């Protein structure tokens, strides 16, 4: 981790512009500039859009076009540049003269392909104009609330997530685009998306700093390949993880992976052991794969923090209760311990065939009322800190009434709740309703326990630092 950074870049006008110039805009559907223009139209951007193309005559996609950014003569907050790499530095200088406040360079052909000289020219232009620049070689940014979308990925090919409070940052455009598609499928709501590519000007420190202070971001998911400014990154990390959870997936943990990272974003991946040590020391939640990013993001976005690691397991299938118990202990958690008062109360409500112990197996005859009674009793039990509820919708008593009971309990936010649903289309339809109501649903006890451990570990970090 090198360090020579002078100050943090202000990304406000890049993420929340009132006016956007698309430099390289085109009527040709095969061009990147066309896709960017089309996305601004499709997502319903409410600000001014100015297409810029040196060959433009009158209009592009119905908007008055300009041959140069200097011809617009109106305030431009953000310029999105998608032209051949060799013309980018001079275009940045023109943006400086035009008073542009932020730039996204989606063009590639810089250090990632060995053209360091051209990237140095870009950096020099940025210093001269003092404009914050994201890229080059990136997808750029998306702000769901502000309808700002610089991505050149068509909306018919990649779903745009609903508006929410999870923000995702990525050095890699391909990882970023995949995550956007997956986030939509998981029902997570997106606040901001930032793909910053080669990080020539705006880097990982600037991105983390911005998201840490963004009032619309509750959880930060971060795919990171390398850090240029180690000291500043640590300083920002201290602030970020005290404000909100930061889930990080580090790419390039093997020597081969590090080489691959450098070849596509010119990133210095560095020692995976050093990064992991820093991440753990400063409260990052470390993911092992893309699934972890999504699974941890869901629980952080919806559930209250908790210090305790005693998990109450409710199930309508004995085998799943066994698997849940294994998963709990394998992830450093413990089964909850019911008080005598809870046992007595449950004995009055549960059928005789149910053993009043943890995990609480209410049998395949369990109904919505069975779950509701158990959760009502155990919600105030001091021996239980969080719940893993296994709902096998294949059984006769598991239906939409159970879904509503779980939603009602979750809305109280008394203790963290995750639900495990394993099955086909009928199960998935009910899982979708649960997730739309803010309940994280997992397909296995293992992923549920791993996510609970992430929540508890971060809770303990916060309490330790605040003490």
- Nearest alpha carbon to residue 148 among 48, 220, 25, 28: 48
Q: Which residues pair with 310 in a beta bridge?
A: 334
For 451-463, the pLDDT digits (tens) are 999 999 999 999 9
In a domain, 379, yes or no: yes
Do 195 and 324 lie in one domain? The reply is no
In a domain, 2, yes or no: no
- HSE value, Cβ hemisphere, 13 Å, CA-based, for 347: 9
Q: Which of 268, 300, 332 is the last residue of a domain?
A: 300
In the predicted model, what is the mean pLDDT of the chain? 91
The three-point CA angle 430-328-317 to 5° equals 45
For 54-65, the pLDDT digits (tens) are 987 789 999 999
pLDDT > 50? residue 262: no
Do 271 and 355 lie in one domain? The reply is no
Average pLDDT score over residue span 196-223? 96
Q: Which of 265, 300, 335 is the last residue of a domain?
A: 300
Chain centre to alpha carbon of residue 129 = 32
In a domain, 1, yes or no: no
In a domain, 355, yes or no: yes
- pLDDT score, position 5: 52
Do 80 and 179 lie in one domain? The reply is yes
- pLDDT score, position 253: 53
Do 323 and 198 lie in one domain? The reply is no
pTM here is: 0.91
Question: What CATH number should be reported for the domain holding residue 133?
Answer: 3.40.50.261
Do 245 and 333 lie in one domain? The reply is no
Do 355 and 368 lie in one domain? The reply is yes
Do 295 and 310 lie in one domain? The reply is no
- pLDDT score, position 201: 95
pLDDT > 50? residue 209: yes
pLDDT > 80? residue 266: no
In a domain, 240, yes or no: yes
Do 407 and 434 lie in one domain? The reply is yes
Q: Which of 274, 300, 326 is the last residue of a domain?
A: 300
Least confident residue range of 146-150, 265-269, 387-391, 438-442: 265-269
Answer with the residue of higher pLDDT: 339 or 260.
339
In a domain, 262, yes or no: yes
Measured CA to CA, the distance from residue 435 to residue 302 in angstroms comes to 9
- pLDDT score, position 155: 67
pLDDT > 90? residue 281: yes
In a domain, 413, yes or no: yes
Domain count, the chain: 2
Q: Which domain holds residue 389?
A: 305-466
Do 286 and 311 lie in one domain? The reply is no
pLDDT > 60? residue 1: no
Burial status of residue 382 (CB atoms within 10 A of its CB: 0-12, 13-18, 19 or more): exposed
């Amino acid at each position: 981790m090198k360090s020579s950074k002078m100050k943090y870049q202000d990304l406000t006008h890049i993420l929340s512009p009132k006016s956007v110039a698309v430099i390289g805009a085109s009527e040709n559907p095969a061009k990147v500039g066309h896709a960017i223009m089309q996305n601004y139209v499709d997502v319903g951007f409410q600000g001014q859009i100015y297409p810029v193309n040196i060959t433009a005559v009158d209009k592009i996609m119905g908007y008055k076009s300009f041959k140069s950014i200097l011809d617009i003569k109106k305030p431009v907050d953000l310029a999105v540049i998608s032209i051949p790499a060799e013309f980018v530095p001079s275009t940045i200088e023109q943006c400086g003269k035009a008073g542009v406040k932020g730039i996204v360079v989606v063009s590639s052909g810089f250090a990632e392909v060995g053209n360091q000289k051209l990237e140095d020219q870009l950096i020099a232009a940025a210093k001269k104009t003092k404009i914050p620049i994201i890229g080059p070689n990136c997808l750029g940014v998306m702000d769901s609330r502000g309808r700002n979308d610089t991505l050149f990925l068509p909306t018919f090919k990649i779903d745009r997530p609903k508006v929410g409070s999870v923000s995702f940052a990525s050095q890699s455009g391909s990882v970023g685009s995949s995550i956007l598609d997956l986030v939509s499928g998981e029902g997570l709501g997106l606040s901001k998306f930032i793909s910053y590519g080669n990080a020539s000007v705006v880097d990982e420190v600037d991105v983390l700093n911005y998201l840490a202070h963004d009032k619309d971001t509750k959880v930060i998911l971060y795919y990171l390949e390398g850090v240029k400014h180690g000291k500043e990154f640590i300083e920002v990390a201290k602030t970020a993880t005290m404000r909100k959870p930061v889930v990080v997936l580090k790419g390039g943990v093997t020597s081969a992976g590090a080489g691959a990272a450098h070849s596509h974003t010119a990133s210095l991946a560095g020692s995976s052991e050093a990064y992991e040590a820093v991440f753990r020391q400063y409260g990052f939640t470390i993911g092992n794969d893309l699934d972890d990013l999504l699974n941890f993001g869901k629980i952080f976005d919806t559930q209250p923090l908790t210090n305790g690691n005693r998990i109450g397991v409710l199930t309508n299938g004995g085998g799943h209760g066994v698997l849940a118990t294994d998963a709990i202990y394998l992830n450093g958690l413990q089964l909850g311990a019911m008080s005598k008062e809870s046992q007595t109360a449950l004995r009055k409500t549960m059928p005789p065939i149910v053993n009043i112990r943890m995990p609480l197996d209410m049998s395949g005859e369990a109904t919505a009322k069975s779950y509701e009674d158990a959760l009502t009793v155990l919600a105030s039990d001091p021996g239980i800190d969080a719940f893993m509820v296994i709902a096998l919708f294949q059984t006769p008593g598991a239906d939409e009434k159970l879904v509503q009971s779980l939603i009602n309990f979750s809305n109280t936010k008394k203790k963290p709740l995750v639900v495990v649903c394993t099955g086909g289309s009928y199960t998935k339809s009910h899982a979708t309703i649960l997730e739309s109501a803010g309940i994280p649903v997992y397909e296995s006890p293992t992923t549920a326990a791993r996510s609970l451990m992430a929540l508890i570990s971060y809770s303990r970090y916060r309490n330790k630092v605040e003490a």
